[in-house]
Chains A and B, each alone.
Chain A
């Protein structure tokens, strides 16, 4: 008995001693970028590929160019498991090391970080997710969601449907993951349905039902909507596509949000998913010079966790795109401030003055990868336009031009939502844009 307790006590003491050895502040000649990623948990399928993309582009910059502006980047991943509490823990742990920007990669974590950003003076870049209202730069000086918000995306999808035979009098089904992320676009969808005269069928899918959607799709079969729009994530996507195939829903009338367009999502349904549509804001495939560079300088040297064949996947490129936006903002910040090693406040300036033109994209090896992004003080989303891509059984192909959202409808709603958010927070930091 004695020995047992002694062993226990010794174990406990050892744990305490090894505990929380304070990590020394990073050297001042590096730019520290924490990445809140997830390669575990129910959403790991989508998360892993994105994390690889993010990680690999930063590694490329270090390997090929020696960092940005001569300063090496120090990239550290912190595993969140798509869990808001772990995300906040990651944030608290890394913010003291001189973090210049956060990419939370979860709407839940983004919501937690938005109020912290102005206090700690570290901007949040939620690229294509998070709170739509943060596009309003006057009210959210520290949060950016370039290149587009969920609301502008929804309006663009409706616009696309309108060009494919009109929406008036049609019935549009909306199947979504029943969490904050999935519910986000409902207000704009309902408003548009009133204005443009189509009806909406809402089909929520609970997190526990992600892989058990047969009754949801029978609902779809009963109601026979003319189009289906999906706001899914993780394991919900492949199951939904399989169930849609099962009830013989026409795949070319089924549009996924840009988070429902991963190669891992369509692959389980394989050939039968042919024709499935998905929104996107960047190119897919590995046929970009910069992505070839990643293969050459990073993947082939064994510096990446990614498998060679996933490079160029839709979500891999999403991660790369996120890294490109971050890197370009760092460059802009360096140019504006004249400093080489920047801090969070400089990064905010860099993000706010971000201007990625078509020429610049070509220069960095991403010719035509995405629509030019120009962030302004007023508009923290920047580009807004999206396009629709189609799955041909093996890869994605672009089937529409860049579609501008209905800015006149979306912007007032964004502003109203931003005002509502700020209203009960006295002392909330805003800025005036002239």
Chain B
């Protein structure tokens, strides 16, 4: 098949570009530790009974070690628990693992300025880990359409210095 030499050159450059993009993503994974939901396998739950589930019946922050906390969070029409009525308080510079699910419809979990982004799907537990680099307050936005008051579904995360983190509000294991 006849292919013009300029076009051959162009196809070669295109393939280089594509390889470059794949490389950038892999670089992000390996060197910069940019992860996405799906790396840590969350389990499945029955959405109709999840509110009486062992962990999700008491959503909140649990301590695993001095450098690792877990957050069990429920997203439901139209609040985050915890997060909406009470801000979620977390220590900075500490590994935080989120476990999130929904009992009703799909929701979104977006924390502008942090790169945290997950779809919350009834029946699935979204599990992902992060570290908040500095003490700062963040908003939580539901960015997956979830019904009539979707635009009111929001919450707050207060990230405090580890020394100021009050452990009296933790959920006991």
Are these two chains actual partners, yes or no?
no
Chain A interfacial positions (CB closer than 8 Å to B)? none
